[in-house]
Structure 1
C-alpha cells in the first residue's frame, strides 16, 4: 500500500487559505525538511517563518553554520505563518516601546558579591531602557535583495551594530560612551517607527532578544561565581602563581605565537591602613613568557584560560579584591610606561584579549555579527579552577630557565591571615612593612650564616645560642610574612628554647618549618623537663598555621614527648623526620599514637634505622589517615615509597642495594602490600629476583644495576621467566625492565671511563600479556676498546637493539655489528668512534652498518692526524660521505698542511650542517691563516652562498679540489653549535674578538678553552656577548678556561659576578697558566676561590696584555 504524501501547510496574512508545500528527505539525517526556495516560490515577498509567534530558524550544522541550500524543519500537522513584506507603506502605526524593566524576571540580573560592581549596576540601569538586539546571526529578520538572497534590513542591521557597541561599553563600564551610543539608538528607533514592516519585525525580535538577555545575565552570573571560587581557592602545595592571562604576540593570534602574563594577586591583604579600597589586580611587572608547545597548552588549560580572560574583560569586585574592567586599563596600573612591551599593551590590550576569547570560542572575526560575549556557544558551568597537578605542570609550558632563588613574573609569595597563599608584586609585597624591618632581617640572617630568599619568603639560618635566637625571633615577628623557615639550633636547646621558637613561628605565620637538631645532647639545666622537652614542637602541629614540619636529628624525640602535648591536628599536612636510632617499643607506641592525631596528613617521610618495623607500624594506623597520599621510609641507601588512598596502601616502590638484604618479615610485608616497582643497585641473585617476580603479581617496573659480564644471563632469565608466568597464569604485569651500570648510574653521567670498561644500558618494554617486546640499548667502550666475551655474546644476541654506540676504535666493534643476525631491523641511531687505523674497507663496512639501520641520523668522529697522510685522506673521505649527518667532530694533532687541506675542501658549515659539538687542537699548527675557517665553523648562520659538494669517490687516491663535483650555489641552513672546545689557540686580541662575536651564545651550552692567550679583556667581551633576556636565561652551562693568563684580582671577581647575574647556575672553572696555582671553581649559586702558592713564586707567568694589575 502506497504511503500518503506529506505536505507542510503555510499561511500568511494576505492569503485566505493554506498553501501546502511538499517536504524533502535529507539523505544524511533521514529527516524531512522544507527548502526556503520552495517557500519563496509560493510567497514572493517571504521574509521569515513563525510557529505560534516564535521564529522558525534555518537548520544548521555542528558548527552552527546554516545548511546550504537554506531549509527549515518539517512540522507535521502544524500551519506555519509566513511573514511577508507589504508592497505599500502604511502610516498608521502602533508606537514601538522598549521592554520595561518589570518584563524581566528578577533572576536576570548579574549576580555579584555583596559589594557589587559598578559595571554590573550600570548594566542593569541602562539595559532597562533598551530592547536587547539580536546578538547573533541566527535571528531571521530578512528582506529579499535583487539577487533573491535573504538579508537583514539595513535599519535592523544598523540597530544591531549599535546595540553590539552599546553592550560592549556597558560591560566595560564606559558610562559616557554608552550614553552617546544610546542617543543614536533612540534616534534610530524613532526613524523605524515610520515603517510598519520594521515595526512588526522588531516586535517579533523582542521575544528572541528577551530570552537572549536572560541567558546572557545567567551566564555572566555563573562566570562571576566561578571567578570568585577561583580567586579564593587555596593551593597549598604549588609554589607558583595561579592567576595569568594569555595574549597573542604582536604578529597576531593567527600566528600561533602567544605570551603568558602573570597577575599580581593584591587585595585587602596588601591594602595600606589608611586606604578603604583594596588595590586592583594588575599585570605583574614582567615582560611575560613565550609559550612552548602552545597547542598542547591550550588543550590542557583552555577552560581555565577562558575564565581568566572573561575575568579581566568584564572585571569583578568582592569584599577582598577588585579586578577592574578591561576598558579602564586598570590592569596595567603601576607598570613602567617607558618600557616597549608596556607601550604595546597599553595600546592594544583590548583587541588582544578579544582575539584570544574569540579564538577560544571558535568565533570568526566578524565585527557585524560577532559579539565578544558568552552566548549559547559558551557554557560557563564548564569553566573550571586549575587543579594543583595542572598548576605544577604550568611552568613546563613556559620558555624559561630560572634559578632556584628566582620566581615567575617577579612575584613574591605571601600568606593572608586566612591562610591563603597569594603572589604579589614587590610594591604590594612591601606595602605594609617598613624597609628598615626588612633590612634588619637581611642583616641578622647574614650574620648568622643564613640565606634569605625574599621572593618566596624563605629563610635558612644557623643559630649558635639562645641569645642570638631571641634577636632573630624579634625581627622575624616584626616582618610577619616569612613563609618558610629552615633553622639549625647549634646549642643544646631546652624546653623553654623550643617554647620560644614555637611561639615565634606561630606569630610569624610560618607555614613550612624545618628544624635541625643534630647538635642536641641532654641539657643539664633542663633535667626537670626531660620527659617533655619536645612538647612545644609537637604542639606546633596544631597551631592552625604550620602545614609542613621537618625534624632532623631528633633521635630521642618520642622518648622526650608527653601525652599531654597531643591534640587533634587540622592544618598539619606534611611530616618528615630523620633520626639515626631505632624506636624501642615505647617510642614506637608513641609514634603510632602521634600519627593518629594527624588526620589531615597528606605526606609522611621518615628516615630511620629499621624500615620494616616503622612500615608495619604505619600501616596499622593508616585507617586514621584518610587523606594520606604518600609514605616514604628511608634507611641508609634503602628507600620504601608507597602511594596511599583512603587509608590503604595502593602501590609500593622499593629501592635497595642488594636483594639479599631483605629479611623474611620485609619480604612478607612487600608481598602483602603489592610491590609495583623495584630498584636493585647491585647485580642481583637471579633466583631471588625471579622469586620476587613470581610472588609479586603487581610488579610492573624493574630497575637493576648489573655488571656487564652478567647482562646476557640476567636478560635471558628475565625474558624466559616472564614467558613462563604468562603461560602459567595467563597474564603478567611486568612492563618495563631497565638495566644499567651498578649503583644505578645512568649512561649519560658516565664521563670518566676505565681503560677496559664496557658500559651497557638498556630498556625492555613488554607488550601487555604477550611475549613480544621492544628493546633499546646504549653502549660506550673504554679507552682501549676492549670487549670481553660476555659483552660480545650480549651484543650478538641483542645488538639489533643498539641505538647509541660510542667507542674508541672502529674495527673491533664493526666486526661484532656485522655478525649480528639480520632477523630484526637494526635500531642504531648514533655511532661515535675514533678513526684510528681506519681499515681500507672501512667506508664500505660503515656504509653497510648505516644502510641496515633505517633510523640512523648521527655520526661522531675523532681524529688525531700526526704526520701520517693516510689519516688525512681517511678524514676527507669520511667528511665527504657523511658530513651531512656529522654531529660531533674532534680534530687533534693537526699540522698547517692538514688544516689547509681540510679548509680548502670543506670551507664552510654547509658541509657539516648538523654539527653541534666541535673540538679543535691547534698544538702543532699556527692559527692566523686559518681564522676564516674557524669563524666559518663556529658561525651561527650562513653568511654567503657557498658551494655544496656531492659525495666523493671511495677510492684511496689522493684527493684534490678538482675531484669534488660541485652543485649550483645554494645557501644551506645548519644546526648551531652547543659545545665548543679549543686547545692551544694562540689568538691575538682582534682574532679573539672575531671568534667570540661569531659564537652564538643563545644556544651554546659548553665552552672549553685550554692553554690559550685568553685574557680578562676577552672574558669581558665574552660576558657582554651573552644575551640578556628577562624571559629565559642563556643556556651556557659550563665555562672552562684553563692555563691562561687570567690572574686573580678584584676585577676578575667582579666580572664573574656579572656573569653569574646573567647565568646563575653556570659552572665556572678558571685556572691560571701553571698547573700549580690558584683556580676558580664555581658550581651552582656560589663561587669559591681555591688559593695555593702564588704562581709568581713558582713559575713564569705570561702577562695579561690587557690587565695593568697582572704581574709578569
Structure 2
C-alpha cells in the first residue's frame, strides 16, 4: 500500500484536496485514473483541467475513447475538476463539515455530496442490529490501519492549506489598501468640489458687482444728461445771466455733488473688483499649486545710469533678474549639472516705473544712494555664503503663502519683450506636485530618462520620432548660400564629400546653382515657374536631381527643358500621381531618343518614378518601397530595362482597411504572404474575419493553422468547417486549446458537412469557446476587466451530442451579448429547447438577454409543443425571431 500512487484532485470552487488511487492499465502499461472513480467523489463532474489546459481522455490508435473512460496519471500535480454550480456547492459543504480522517467519515462526505441523486448506500439508513454494527466498526478499524501509511505520505498537504490561508490574508490586505485609496480619492474629490463651490461663489459676486457697476454707470449717464439739459436751458435764458454766474457755478451744486459721489462709488467698485480678482487668483494658486510667474528674483542697479537734469541728482536705474529654482528636486540619475539656485541666463528686465515698483514690492528698501550700494554688496555676500552653506533655505516651498496676485501685477512694471516665456525659465512640477520655475538645463535634467535601445531598427525608429524640422527664413538661406559660395572653409569641406542639399519651399535657386560642387539637389517647390526654372538649369552641375511633386497635368515643356539643360544628369527621380507615371516615363524616353538621334550626349542612366505622397525627405538607395517603377537605360542604345516594385500600400503610410473578410480557399503561398503583409500594415483594422472550408484536407488545414497562429489576437470572426470533425478538429484543439487564444472573437462557427458524434474532448473545447469571460480584478479603475470578448454569433453544424452534453453546452452559453444562435443539422431536441428556454428565463443567471435570432432544424420546429416553448421564450425576449 505504501507504493500505491495517488492523484490529487480538487473542485474548481473549493480549496480541499481529494486523493484518488491510480490504477495500472494492463494494456498500455501506464498509470491511469478512472473517470468513474472521479465521479464517485465529484458529482456531476464535467471535465478535468490542469492549470489552463484541458486534460483529455485517453484514446486508442484510432483516436477513439477507451472504455471505461480514463485519464492519465499526473504526478505531483493537483488537477481541477469542473463541476456544475449546484454540485460544487454541495461538495464544498460536505468537505467543510468533515475532516476526512477515517474511511467512515469519507463515506459520510460521499453521501452528502451525492444528496442530489439516490445512492445505493441510502438503503442502509434504517436500524441495524448490534452484530452488524460491530462488524461494520471492525471493518472501519482495519481500513483505517491500512490507510494510515497513505495518509503519512501526504502530511505535506497541510502546507497547501497554509499557503491558501496566506493568500487569503494577502488578498484581504490588498482589498483594505484599495478601500483606503478610494476613501482618500473621495476626500480629495470633496475638497475639490468645495474649492469649485468657493470659486463659483466668487465669480457670482463678481457678476453681481458688475451688474451694480453697470447700474451706477447708467445713473451717472442720466445725471450727466440732466446736467447737459440744464446747461442748454441756461444758455437759452440769455448771455447776461451766464456772465453774472460765477465760473465755478456754471452747473448746479447738486449736479456736481452727484458727479463726485458717482465717480467715488465707481472707483470703489473698481478697487473691489481688483481685490476679488486678486484673491481668486491667490486661491487658485494655493489650491492647485500654480504659479503664473517665477517667485524668486533679485533687483540690482544697472551698470550705467543717467543724470536727471530736472532734479539735478544722479538717478540710478535698476534691473530685475529672475533666479532658477533648482535643487534636489531637479536632480536626475546621472546628473552632471550643479543644482544650486542661480541667476537665469537672461539680461534681465528694466523697471518701467521704479518708484511704484519699490513702493509695491520693496517698501523697506532705503533709496538713499550711499546706503543702497553698501546694502546691495552685503546682500550679495550674504547670498553667496548662504548658498554655499545650504542651498535648501531658499526652497520654493518656504514661501507657500506668497500672494500670487502680486506676481501677476509685477509684469506691469517690467519691459518684457519675450512674451512666450519669462526670463528663459520654464514652469515644471516636482515629484510632490509643487510648481517651480527652472532654466532649460535643469529642466532637461528633471525630465531626463534613460532609454535602452537594443536593436538597430528600434534606434532608427526612435530617432525618426525625435526628428523635428527646422523652420528657416529667407534671410537664413541667403546667409547659408553666401557662406557656401564665398568662404574657403566651405569649399575645402566640400572637397571631402558635402555635395547634396535638401530644400523645402525654397525659391532662390540662383544661389544654389552657383555652387559648382553641388551634385545632388532635392527640392520641394510649390510652383516651379519660368524664373526659378531658368535659375535651376542655367549652370547645371548636378548628376542627381529629385523633383518631389509634379501636378496632375504633366508639364512637358518644363520637364524637357530640365532634361536638355542638365547635361550631366545621371539619376532623375520624379514624384507624380500613379495614373500619370506612364506618361512621365514615355516623355523621358522620347526626349532621350531625340537627343541621341541628333548626336547629343544624354548621360541619364536611371529614372525612378515614385508615388507622389510617399517620397521620404531623406532618400536613400537602400529604401525603395516608395518606387513605382525604375528604368535602367543602356549606354549606347535606345533599349531600356524596367523594374517594377508595385505594392498594395506603402508600409510607412499603412492601409486604411477597417474590415477584412477572408475566405482563403484558393490562396497560394504567395497569396498568404501578401495577406500577412496587408494585415500587418493595416493599423486601422478593426474587424478581421476568417472562414475556412474543407479543413479535412492537409492543405487547408495548414492554411488555417498558419493564419490563426499569426493573427489570433486580431480575429473577431472565425468559421471552421470540414467533412468530418475527427479528421481536423483535434488538430485545431491541440493548437488552440483555450478561449484566451482569441481574445477579440465575437463570431464563431464550427461545423461538419456530415453529422458526427462528438467526443468528450470536442465538447469541452466547444464549452470553453462559448463560455462567458470571468471577471478579473483591475485595481487601476473601478470597473473589472474581461480577458476576452463576449460572443455575438454562435453556429454549430453537423454535430450530435448526448443529452448531458447538450446541457453542458446550453449552460455554458453567454447570453449577455449573443445576437444569433444557430443549430444546423444537429440532434438538438425538444427537451434541449425546453432547457434553453428555462435557461433564458432564469433572471438570476441571465438578467439581460439580447438574443434576436434562434434557428434550429425544421423537423423540430414543426413538432408538437415547440410553439408553446417559443411563446414562452418571447415573453422575456419579445423581438426574437425563431426560424426552423
**TM-score w.r.t. length of structure 2:** 0.26
Between 1 and 2, higher relative CO (CA 8 Å, sep ≥ 6) is seen in 2
Larger radius of gyration: 2
Q: Identify the structure with the greater helix proportion.
A: 2
